[in-house]
Structure 1
Amino acid sequence: MFFQLRETKKSDVDTYDQVRQLITATLHQECPQHSSKHHILYTANLQLEQYKEAKEFFYAQCDVTTSLGTFSKEAYDKANKNYHQLYLIIRAYMHLSDERQREHFNHHFRFSKEQIETMYDYYAHYSTHVKTLALEEGFWHALKEDLIPLLTQLE
C-alpha cells in the first residue's frame, strides 16, 4: 500500500500582488469620491491637496488659549497625519505599478511575509464579516496603521 500526499493548493498570489491589492483597496477607500472617468492617482492627488489646504487653514487658527484654537490644533494634527499617510500610499502605489520590479519587492517584503499574508487574509474576508457588523471605518483605519510601517521602507 502506497501513501500519496495530497498537494495543498497554493494560491498564485505572491507577496507583491498581496501588497499591491491592499494598497489599491486602501487608496480607493481614501478617495470615496473617485470617478471611473479619472485615474485613481488624479483623485488621490486632489484629496492630498485638500488635506494640504486643511493643514494650512487650521495651522493659522491654532491658539491654545481658546477652545476653537485647541480644536484647530487637533484638526491640524489630523489633517497632517492623513496627508502623510495618503502621500505614502500614493508613493507605494506608484512604486508597485512597475511590474518589472516584482522580484525586487518580493525580496524586499520577505521578512514581513507573514504579516502581509495576515492583512491580506483579513482583507479577503472583509466583505463577509466586517461589512456584516458595520465596522468598515475601524477596519480601514487598522489596516492603514499596519500597512504604513511597511510602506515607509519603500522610499
Structure 2
Amino acid sequence: MDEEERRRKIRDFSFDKCKKGNQGFQRILLQLFGYNGHGKSSFINSIICAWFKSDYKNYANSGGNVKASTEHRMTYPLTNNIVLVDNRGCPTMTAHETGEIFAQLANLLPLDRRVKWSKGLRLPDRIVEAEPHVKGSGFIIPIFIYRNHSHRCPHSQESPEF
C-alpha cells in the first residue's frame, strides 16, 4: 500500500464501516496530556503540518517554554472522524491534578472551552454542570507527551539507552 492509499484509508475512516458497526462511536479523539510545557501543542502543530503537507505553522498556539499556555481543551480535526485534543497540562501530577486530567481524558469536560481547575471537591460539580455540553460518542486514545530534559551532544557516538 502506497502513501496516498494509506492517507485515503485514514481520511475515509468511519466507525460505521466496521464489521460490528459503530457500537455508539462517531469519532476518534486522540487526547494529548502531560506536564506543562512538554510539547503537547508543538506535537499537534507537527501532526497537522505533516497530515496536510504544509509548512510548519503554530496552529495550536504553542508557547515554546515550560510555562503553561494551554488553558482550553482545544480540538484540531484531522479528518471528519479523527480529532486531536490539546488538553490542559499540569505542573506536578499530584492526586488533585490527576483527577483533573482524568476528567479531561474521559471526556467528562466539554471540548473547545476553558479548563479552570478547582481545588477540593469542586471537580464533581463541574463534571455534572458540563454533562449537557459533552458528547459521549468519542473513542478515546490517550497520548502522554513527555519531553526528556537531558541533552546529549549531537556529535556524540554514544547510543541512547532504552
TM (norm. structure 1) is: 0.26
Q: TM-score, normalised by structure 2?
A: 0.25
Name the larger-Rg structure: 1
Higher helix share: 1
Structure showing the higher strand proportion among its residues? 2
